[in-house]
Amino acid sequence: MNVIQSDVLVIGCGIAGAAAALRLAQDRQRQVTLITRADAPEESNTRYAQGGIVTLGAEDSAELLIQDVLAAGAGLSLPAAVRILAAEGPPLVQEVLIEQAAVPFDRAEGGDLAYGREGAHSRPRVIHVGDATGRAIIQGMLNLLRQQPNVRIVTQATAVDLITFPHHARDPLTVYEPITCHGAYVYEQGQRTVSRYLAGATLLATGGLGRIYRHTTNPRGARGDGLAMAYRAGARVINAEYVQFHPTALALPDGEGFLISEAVRGEGGRLLTPDGHPFMADYAPRWRDLAPRDVVARAIHHEMVEHGYPHVLLDIHSTMSAENIQERFPTIYTRCMELGVDITRQPIPVVPAAHYFCGGVWADERGRTTVEKLYAAGEVACAGVHGANRLASTSLLEGLVWGDRAAQDIAARGALTITAAADIPPWEEEGVLEEADPALIWRDMRTIQHTMWHYVGLVRSARRLTRALQDLNHLGKEIDVFYRTTRLTDPLIGLRHSVQAALIVARAAQHNRQSRGCHYRDDRKSTALM
Ligand code: SIN
């Protein structure tokens, strides 16, 4: 069985992992290994971010940005973390994204950056590359990373479990030491074997968990892998009940989950009922269509439930010219056109969908978790920035800042000790009896997704959450047996991570009886339709 040793192991190739690897690469003595379960490192949640990344706009200040993040976070954002974001984020956008990675952000006529507006922002400050900002950012960062001689990128490599002492130690005396991470067991999809990736420091940057829900804007890999591994390793997880639903995912057959960026409303798009009523003024007279996401998502949900609508409509053609729509939103325009909706002439059918995990593995200001030598950054982590509801387009910025901070902390540790392979047992395959049946994995995944959607969704109640936990606990036991007796595949590993992640979210939601931000409980109406 393979053993791969590096100073730093980064699990996940989105903006947080890439930012950390870029900073670490500056020290040429340090070997960095970046792994992803995807076929290509470009494939991560970052790639699908449309709207943009927050910086400071023309008549803006760090103080205003801080106030907006805190207001959206509904009283649960950690002020010190938000201050770090506002102070360090904009200079890092300039240094890493604009100067080093040469991301071609859109410019206004005079050559200044073009600042877009999004929900609950008091100033236009979101910079973008059309409506494919994440794709341009990750492309630029990966181009740079590929030039670094001390960074190795490994694809089709799925992390199965973190290697931690005392759990995996041969030496029984490690039980008296703090829980410490030494890398990860990683399933190599091509060879169908499990390798030991050993490292002096490990950074989790695996992204979110939207795929544990039936309807989501997230790509296939967002199934809670990092959260589940860290939880099993004993890391502290916080705020897991706060799953953000994006108000506007496309509601067309074959286009399900495709994001219709909040920037569309930022450019004047209005939400309408199917019979043409602009309903957001009824729910949020001050902000209307640009209210915080939790408010807009619940308003749409309420309209759908009250009136039995299958979706609502988003109209951009009444306020923007066809030419401007095609230039500003080329990806959305093309995708909708392929599916038969010309958004320069017709409104877009939209519904809410699971989008972003505001909770996660607790990470301090340096990205450190409660497990020694284990760091977390980006969506898998919770540093306290987003509180109970994330402000639009702050996630890429947070990944950039905390990826960079984690790397700086690792660099400051000096020489890193990599535990010897002889001290860590190879992966055990004893008890494996059969090949994985894809039909069973698919069915179990669907059960998780339906359970989370109906019982742990936008509107929650004690009855629904109790039911969710009964079903998920039962399923979790079945999946555990299945996992222990079946030859590994990437979907099987994902299924095990997903049921773990679902249980973490459902337990946190049941435990917290207070509605706040995107955790909304309506225990009086527990029989309402979802
Ligand atoms: C969007 O473009 O609406 C998504 C951006 C975000 O989630 O912050």
Q: What are φ and ψ of residue 303, in 5° steps? A: -60, -45
* Residue 76 in domain: no
Residues pairing with 314 in the sheet:
271, 348
Residues 342 and 407 in one domain: no
- pTM to 2 decimals? 0.95
Both 38 and 152 in a single domain? Answer: yes
What is the whole-number distance in angstroms between the Cα of residue 52 and the centre of ligand 1? 7
Residues 395, 456: one domain? Answer: no
Q: What is the pLDDT of residue 429?
A: 82
- Tell me the pLDDT of the chain (530 aa) as tens digits: 699 999 999 999 999 999 999 999 998 889 999 999 999 999 999 999 998 999 999 999 999 999 999 999 999 999 999 999 999 999 999 999 999 999 999 999 999 999 999 999 999 999 999 999 999 999 999 999 999 999 999 999 999 999 999 999 999 999 999 999 999 999 999 999 999 999 999 999 999 999 999 999 999 999 999 999 999 999 999 999 999 999 999 999 899 899 999 999 999 999 999 999 999 999 999 999 999 899 999 999 999 999 999 999 999 999 999 999 999 999 999 999 999 999 999 999 999 999 999 999 999 999 999 999 999 999 999 999 999 999 999 999 999 999 999 999 999 998 899 999 999 999 988 778 899 999 999 999 999 999 999 999 999 999 999 999 999 999 999 999 999 999 999 999 999 999 999 999 999 999 999 999 999 999 855 433 33
- CA–CA gap between residue 458 and residue 515 (Å, rounded): 11
Q: Which of 246, 290, 350, 396 to mutate to test the pocket of ligand 1 (most atoms within 8 A of CB)?
A: 246
- Please give the Cα distance from 75 to 284 (Å, whole number): 18
Residue with tokens 């939790």, as numbered in its chain: 294
Straight-line distance from the first to the last Cα atom of the chain, in angstroms, rounded to the nearest whole number: 48
User: What's the rounded Cα separation, in Å, for the pair 348 and 354?
Assistant: 19
C-alpha 285/C-alpha 459 separation (Å) is 22
| 97 lies in some domain | no
Q: Is residue 433 in some structural domain?
A: no
Centroid of ligand 1 to alpha carbon of 223 (angstroms): 19
d(CA 100, CA 133): 16
Q: Could you give the CA distance from residue 198 to residue 9 in angstroms, rounded to a whole number?
A: 8
Instruction: Name every protein residue with a CB atom under 6 angstroms from any ligand 1 atom.
Output: 49-51, 259, 261-263, 356, 392-393, 395
83 burial type by CB count under 10 A (0-12 exposed, 13-18 middle, 19+ buried): middle
SS3 content of the chain, % helix, strand, coil (to 5): 40, 20, 40
Which residues are CB-neighbours of 308 under 8 A, at least 6 positions away? none
- Domain boundary among the residues 339, 354, 369 is at 354
Domain of 491 in residue numbering reads as 438-525
Tell me, yes or no, whether 285 and 299 share the same domain: yes
Tell which atom from ligand 1 comes closest to the C-alpha of 396: 8
Residues 6+ apart with CB under 8 A from 428: none
| 456 and 394 assigned to the same domain | no
220 and 314 both lie in a single domain: no
Ligand 1 nearest-atom number relative to CA 248 = 3
Give the three-state DSSP class for 401: helix
Quote the tokens at residue 419.
Answer: 């535990």
Number of domains within the chain? 3
Query: Among 310, 339, 354, where does a domain finish?
Result: 354
136, 211: one domain? yes
Q: In Å, how far are 434, 445, 474, 487, 518 from 481, measured between CA atoms?
A: 12, 15, 11, 12, 34
pLDDT digits (tens, 9 = 90+) for 317-330: 999 999 999 999 99
Which residues are marked as active site? 293
Residues 220 and 292 in one domain: no
How much distance in Å is there from the Cα of 499 to the middle of ligand 1?
26
